[in-house]
């Protein structure tokens, strides 16, 4: 353990009352915008009182087979590891409560990392989760075959489907929040710091255009064509924009006020795009406007204009090189993987299984959320259907 990390751990141990009596901190494993995560050993853990987590324990008792585990009488001496998430004190109490409550609601959901317990000392809150052995996304995304990607996506969509089933939107689906173990072929979804309950009643803010259309109809005048509102008198539109750049769905970028769980499906589509294009991050815009232009590059101005108008917005751009119709996924993927130059024999398209992945991805990256596939439906599409059970 590095000096700086050791110092950080020592400071944390000194500041949080009695924490060392219960946990032995081993290392710092994550440092995000909202928290620091440590790997620790639970010193008071009794294996026989916690059978619910036997699966996680089997990994921790490396050399003991599960049969020995059952035969052993008395306490097993092997450690039980946990992840301690120290939520920054700058987070609002409501935000912290929200994360803990949602995790509690999801404690029995498939492929969601369950909350074991949580503690507070003064303004510091820590959440304790079972430690899940996983590999850094950057170490494997380039080498994954389509079949390995399929297994990953099945695990991810299983998690997502159970989260949505519980009426919860994750809002920050991305590789660092899905801890995946290629050897176990399993992953768990973490980080419900931005998650929220789905609200199907939310009001949609009317656009200037809709107001103009209504006025014209009432006055018996012809309906005007949509145009950019130069003298917009309304206060600027507010909507939840939580998430990570490059993974935000178009309706989030367009500040749609009635977002639903389908924003998570879009983000999963972006992860799949990363695997099959072998580019990470695939999108890297500085802000939402740039992100929208990046989508225009691919989908073309026409479809993005239609998407904008779905949410009462008007697209007007003078960015050169944006085409009207964009490019097909096939063309983009062949570019990304250096297969755009056709061989003399004329071959060089996507393989059959890549085409299946693209068909699946297109359903996730559907610009109109009303036409996007749900997590549940995604599990039944040909790309994933064979993996159930
Ligand atoms: P943040 O809100 O700061 O992003 P996360 O909950 O995403 O916090 O955790 C940050 C990182 O800590 C994760 O990307 C992962 O590397 C590590 N981590 C979180 N939970 C666990 C866990 N249960 N097991 C192993 N590592 C974890
Ligand atoms: Mg995170």
Torsion region of 304: left, alpha or beta (phi above 0 gives left; psi -120 to 50 gives alpha)? alpha
* CA–CA distance, 170 with 163 (Å, rounded to integer): 8
Closest protein CA for atom 16 of ligand 1:
30
Token pair 């498939």 is found at 110
* Dihedral over Cα of 168, 171, 175, 177: its sign: negative
For residue 37, which atom of ligand 1 is closest to its CA?
A: 12
Substitution site in 37, 114, 195 for ligand 1 pocket (most atoms within 8 Å of beta carbon): 37
By three-state DSSP, how is residue 188 classified?
A: strand
User: Tokens in use for 58?
Assistant: 């089997």
Distance 174 CA to ligand 2 centre (A): 8
How far apart, in Å, are the Cα atoms of 239 and each of 182, 251, 372? Answer: 37, 10, 20
Residue 177 Cβ inside 6 Å of ligand 1? The answer reads yes
pLDDT at 57: 44
* Range from 180-189, 251-260, 333-342, 354-363 carrying the lowest mean pLDDT: 333-342
CB-ligand 1 contact for 191 (6 Å cutoff): yes
Query: Cα 286 to chain center, whole Å?
Result: 19
Residue 114 CB–ligand 1 contact under 6 Å: no
Low-confidence winner among 149-158, 243-252, 346-355 (lowest mean pLDDT)? 346-355
Reported ipTM: 0.99
pLDDT of residue 56: 47
The first and second tokens of residue 357, run together, are 């992945």
Regarding the beta carbon of 300 and ligand 1, being less than 6 Å apart is answered no
What does the pLDDT read at residue 211?
75
What gap in Å lies between CA 118 and CA 110, rounded to an integer? Answer: 21
- Residue 376 alpha carbon to ligand 2 centre in Å: 24
Cα 50 versus chain centre, distance: 29
Give percent of the chain with pLDDT exceeding 70: 86
pLDDT value, residue 235? 72
First to last CA, the chain: 41
Using a CB cutoff of 5 Å, list residues around ligand 2, an ion.
32, 177, 191
For residues 262 and 374, the answer to whether their CB atoms sit within 8 Å is yes
Q: Count the neighbouring beta carbons within 10 Å of the beta carbon of residue 342.
A: 11
> How remote is the CA of residue 209 from the centroid of ligand 1, in Å?
44
Model confidence at 164, pLDDT cuts 50, 70, 90, reads very high
Please choose, from the candidates 367, 315, 324, the residue with its C-alpha nearest in 3D space to the C-alpha of residue 209.
Answer: 315
Burial of residue 124, with CB atoms counted within 10 A of its CB: 0-12 exposed, 13-18 middle, 19 or more buried: middle
């Amino acid at each position: 353990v590095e000096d700086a990390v050791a110092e950080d751990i020592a400071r944390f141990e000194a500041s949080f009352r009695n924490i060392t009596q219960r946990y032995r901190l081993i290392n710092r494993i994550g440092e995000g915008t909202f928290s620091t995560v440590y790997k620790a050993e639970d010193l008071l853990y009794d294996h026989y009182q916690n059978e619910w987590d036997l699966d996680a324990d089997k990994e921790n008792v490396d050399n003991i087979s599960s049969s020995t585990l059952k035969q052993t009488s008395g306490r097993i001496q092997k450690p039980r590891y946990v992840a301690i998430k120290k939520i920054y004190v700058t987070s609002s109490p409501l935000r912290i409560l929200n994360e803990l409550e949602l995790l509690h609601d999801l404690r029995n959901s498939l492929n969601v990392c369950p909350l074991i317990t949580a503690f507070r000392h003064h303004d510091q809150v820590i959440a304790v989760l079972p430690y899940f052995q996983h590999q850094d996304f950057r170490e494997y995304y380039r080498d994954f075959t389509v079949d390995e990607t399929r297994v990953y996506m099945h695990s991810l969509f299983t998690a997502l489907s159970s989260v949505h089933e519980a009426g919860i939107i994750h809002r920050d689906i991305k590789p660092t929040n899905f801890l995946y173990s290629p050897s176990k072929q399993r992953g768990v979804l973490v980080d419900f710091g931005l998650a929220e309950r789905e609200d199907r009643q939310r009001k949609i803010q009317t656009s200037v255009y809709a107001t103009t259309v209504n006025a014209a109809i009432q006055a018996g005048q012809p309906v005007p064509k949509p145009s950019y509102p130069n003298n917009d008198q309304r206060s600027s539109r507010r909507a939840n924009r939580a998430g990570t750049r490059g993974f935000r769905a178009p309706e989030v970028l367009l500040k749609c006020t009635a977002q639903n769980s389908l924003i998570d499906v879009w983000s999963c589509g972006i992860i799949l795009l990363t695997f099959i294009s072998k580019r990470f991050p695939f999108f890297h815009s500085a802000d939402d406007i740039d992100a929208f232009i990046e989508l225009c590059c691919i989908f073309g101005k026409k479809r993005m204009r239609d998407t904008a108008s779905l949410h009462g917005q008007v697209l007007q751009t003078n960015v050169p090189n944006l085409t009207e119709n964009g490019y097909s996924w096939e063309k983009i993927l062949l570019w990304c993987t250096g297969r755009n130059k056709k061989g003399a024999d004329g071959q060089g398209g996507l393989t059959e299984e890549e085409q299946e992945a693209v068909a699946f991805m297109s359903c996730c990256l559907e610009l109109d959320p009303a036409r996007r596939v749900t997590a549940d439906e995604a599990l039944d599409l040909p790309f994933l259907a064979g993996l159930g059970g």
